[in-house]
Each structure stands twice: as structure tokens, then as C-alpha cells.
């Protein structure tokens, strides 16, 4: 475990990048990888990252790469940590944190971590998850692959949050290089390795696998609840264009489909521009399919909806933090009808005539908790009479280049 005093320019780069590199003397006694606590001003700890020695860059000079930042919303004052130390360790800690990069001694490290465990328990849990990531030797992915994995994880998180799953039930995510047979049920598709589902489809808290289907779907059971998950990503992560989540609520015989869209940081705010290469065809397919949904309202309690919209967008900032994190990705949920109204409104006009959506100019949307509450109680989603029509939608989604996760929930 190391403590680093890093140039403050790096802090600005971390707003839109997830890694940076530095150099150390080759004879510097440092483990190959570990956890780094980083200060940009020698007064506060601003973030925690993993580090890895990544090779020689010059004679007697090695490169060290920092990744997976846990950005602290509330910076931690170093003097507060010093006050926590006993008198005999204070001077050791102060001396060890004066240099550019310093390896914390065993006694200092133990007391240092105790400070976080007592004063910042949530951050301490994230640090432990990051340590597990290193111990499990999780592969290093490109930013594109990390983004797809993060959104796939969020899609699963929505499902389990929707049906009263606690964060404490979720295990620490890990991955390996074994392939997972998700696509065996589709003979015209090629089975692809999906490192995220490989773990989460086998183990999820204290749920038990009731049955694993040839298609790659897996049933999880807990008490009187059952969730069936299937990932049908036909592309390698690097070639996957986006992520979709299709949820079937067995109690209300209702479907909801969420399409993720990536917001990019521009001028200190995250923005989504509807100019993806596949955007026009996606919207046309959604609108055409929506017109086929039944307008008939059956007089039954389970069939009542505030509206029967199927399609929702979730706009997410393109900022990937710790892939191990159990936290959901922040973002905006917007139903298709509101989406078209919002884009037609002048408030979403960009400075050069294009359209853009941001947290500032998007007047109405759902937060994670609002959306989950409506969906889990059957207030939104398709009506019973439309269930059979969704099969065609699933087929067309599988033929796209998006990662599609299908989830089914029922009480048993």
C-alpha cells in the first residue's frame, strides 16, 4: 500500500480519464501491484486507486500505472489522519507521506486502514473491493470494454434492486478467462466470451441456481422469488455498440426495455447527442413497434398501468469508476414518448443547431429509485395483451450489435 503526492494537473485529467502513469526508480522497493492513496495538494486525500508496475521506460526507471479511481466526494484532511495516530506513529506517518511516492510501513498501514474503517466505512468497503479485484487478478480491459461491462452490471443491478435485493446480498464481482455458454440456444450465432456474466450468472449472493438452461439462461431463487437471467451478446465487448435490458415482470405479465446511452463530458457537463450511427434505425424500430401495442385496457387490477410504454432510455455519464463497485450507475431514465417531446423542444437545441441532452436541459426524467419503484410495482410497462408480441422484439434485438440482457422475475 502506498501514499502518493501527485501533480494537481492529474486531478483535472481524472475528470474524463480513468488512468494515468508516473515513473519510479527501478531499485524502488515496491510490490508489483497494490492500493494507492493520492493527494494533489499535500493537505487532502482526493482519491484512491489501484497501481501496477507496467514496465521499464528508461535506464533504471520504471513506469507505474494508476487505474480504477475512487474519487472522494468529500476529500479527507491529512491532518485528521495524523491526529488519529498514536504519538509513536505520528512522526512515522508524517515522514512517509512527505515524498512523491512512499510505501507505508506495516504498522502505519494497519493504523491507517483502521482510520478509514472507523471514520469512512463506505469508502473502506470500496477499498476492500479494490483489493479483492487485485487479488483475483481481474483482467485489464480497454475503456470501451470497461464501459460495456459497467452498463451490463448496472442492468443486472436494476433487476435485483427492482425486486427488493439488498446491496449486502451482492457479492464482489470478479472475472476470469473461462467462456460462458450464453448463446447455445441460438444456432445461427457464435458463442462469445462474456467475462462479466461468467461470474454473476453462477453466483449471486445467497441465491441458489435452480436450473441452468442450454441457452445460457440461469434461474436464481431466494425465499419465494425467482429471477431468470440470460445474456445474448453476440459481439466481443470491443465491438458491442451499446447495452439493452429487457425485463419481464411475471406477476403483472409486463415488459420494460431499457436502452443505455452514453453521455460525454463537454464544457464541464455531461451531454448526449442523438447522432449515433444506429440511432435513427433504433428510434424507427421503437416507434413502429409501439404502434403495434394494444390500446385496449382490460378491467383488472394486475393489468392497470399509469401508462403502457415499453421503451425507456437511460442516459449515463461516460465515467467508469471501480468496476467492482456495487453502486448503480447514476443517470436519467426517459420514456420514449417523453424522449421525442424533449428532443422536439427548443431547450435541447445545441449552440450549432444540433440536439443535445444534459442534466441541466432535460426537464423531466426518473432517478434510479423513482424508476425502480414504479417498475417493481407494475405501474409502468406493457399490458398483459401485449406480452406475446415481445418475441419479435427480442429476435430483432439479438440481431443488432447491442448487448442484450433478458431478465424474468416471478413469485413462486
Contacts of 381 (CB under 8 A, 6+ apart): 247, 249, 252, 254, 255, 256, 305, 308, 309, 310, 375
Contacts of 182 (CB under 8 A, 6+ apart): 191, 192, 194, 197, 201, 215, 216, 230, 231, 232, 233
pTM above 0.75, yes or no: no
CA separation for the pair 260, 402 (Å, rounded): 10
pLDDT (tens, 9 = 90+) of the chain, 412 residues, equals 888 888 877 877 776 667 788 888 887 888 888 899 999 888 899 999 888 887 787 788 888 888 888 888 889 999 999 989 888 888 888 887 888 888 888 888 899 899 999 999 888 888 887 887 777 655 556 667 777 777 877 787 888 788 776 655 554 454 443 322 222 332 332 333 333 334 333 333 444 444 444 345 566 666 677 777 676 665 655 556 667 888 888 888 888 888 888 888 888 889 999 988 778 888 888 888 888 776 666 678 888 888 888 899 999 887 665 565 667 788 899 999 999 999 999 999 988 888 999 999 998 999 988 998 998 888 998 887 776 677 667 767 766 777 777 777 777 7
Give the count of beta carbons closer than 10 Å to the beta carbon of residue 151: 26
Domain boundaries, the chain: 2-135, 143-411
Distance of CA 349 to the CA centre of its chain: 29
Q: Which CATH code, of 1.20.1330, 3.40.1350, 3.30.70, 3.10.590, is assigned to 2-135? A: 3.10.590
Amino acid at each position: 500500500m502506498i501514499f502518493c503526492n501527485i501533480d494537481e494537473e492529474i486531478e483535472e485529467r481524472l475528470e474524463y480519464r480513468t488512468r494515468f502513469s508516473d515513473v519510479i526508480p527501478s531499485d524502488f522497493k515496491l510490490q508489483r501491484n497494490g492500493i494507492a492513496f493520492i493527494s494533489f495538494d499535500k493537505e487532502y486525500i482526493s482519491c484512491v486507486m489501484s497501481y501496477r508496475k507496467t514496465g521499464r521506460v528508461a535506464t533504471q526507471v520504471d513506469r507505474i500505472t494508476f487505474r480504477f479511481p475512487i474519487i472522494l466526494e468529500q476529500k479527507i484532511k491529512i491532518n485528521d489522519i495524523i491526529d488519529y495516530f498514536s504519538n509513536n506513529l505520528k512522526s512515522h506517518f508524517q515522514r512517509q507521506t512527505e515524498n512523491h511516492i512512499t510505501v507505508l510501513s506495516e504498522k502505519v498501514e494497519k493504523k491507517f486502514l483502521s482510520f478509514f474503517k472507523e471514520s469512512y466505512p463506505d469508502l473502506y468497503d470500496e477499498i476492500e473491493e479494490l483489493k479483492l479485484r487485485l487479488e483475483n487478478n481481474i483482467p485489464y480491459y480497454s475503456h470501451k470494454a470497461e464501459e460495456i461491462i459497467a452498463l451490463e452490471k448496472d442492468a443486472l443491478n436494476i433487476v435485483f434492486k427492482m425486486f427488493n435485493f439488498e446491496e449486502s446480498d451482492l457479492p464482489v464481482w470478479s472475472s476470469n478467462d473461462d467462456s460462458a455458454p450464453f448463446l447455445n440456444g441460438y444456432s445461427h450465432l457464435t458463442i462469445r466470451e462474456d467475462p462479466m456474466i461468467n461470474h454473476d450468472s453462477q453466483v449471486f449472493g445467497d441465491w441458489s441456481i435452480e436450473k441452468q438452461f442450454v441457452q445460457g439462461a440461469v434461474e436464481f431463487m431466494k425465499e419465494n422469488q425467482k429471477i431468470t437471467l440470460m445474456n445474448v451478446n453476440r459481439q466481443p465487448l470491443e465491438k458491442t455498440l451499446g447495452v439493452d435490458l429487457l425485463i419481464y415482470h411475471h406477476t403483472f405479465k409486463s415488459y420494460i426495455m431499457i436502452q443505455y446511452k452514453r453521455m460525454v463530458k463537454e464544457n464541464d457537463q455531461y451531454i448526449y447527442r442523438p447522432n449515433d450511427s444506429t440511432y435513427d434505425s433504433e428510434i424507427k424500430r421503437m416507434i413502429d413497434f409501439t404502434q403495434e401495442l394494444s390500446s385496449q385496457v382490460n378491467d383488472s387490477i394486475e393489468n392497470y398501468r399509469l401508462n403502457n410504454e415499453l421503451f425507456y432510455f437511460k442516459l449515463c455519464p461516460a465515467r467508469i469508476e471501480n468496476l467492482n463497485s456495487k453502486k448503480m450507475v447514476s443517470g436519467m431514465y426517459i420514456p420514449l414518448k417523453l424522449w421525442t417531446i424533449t428532443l422536439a423542444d427548443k431547450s435541447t437545441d445545441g449552440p450549432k443547431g444540433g440536439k443535445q441532452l444534459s442534466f441541466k436541459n432535460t426537464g423531466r426524467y426518473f432517478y434510479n429509485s423513482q424508476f425502480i419503484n414504479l417498475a417493481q410495482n407494475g405501474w409502468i410497462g406493457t399490458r398483459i395483451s401485449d406480452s406475446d408480441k415481445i418475441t419479435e422484439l427480442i429476435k430483432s434485438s439479438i440481431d443488432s450489435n447491442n448487448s442484450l440482457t433478458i431478465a424474468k422475475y416471478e413469485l413462486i
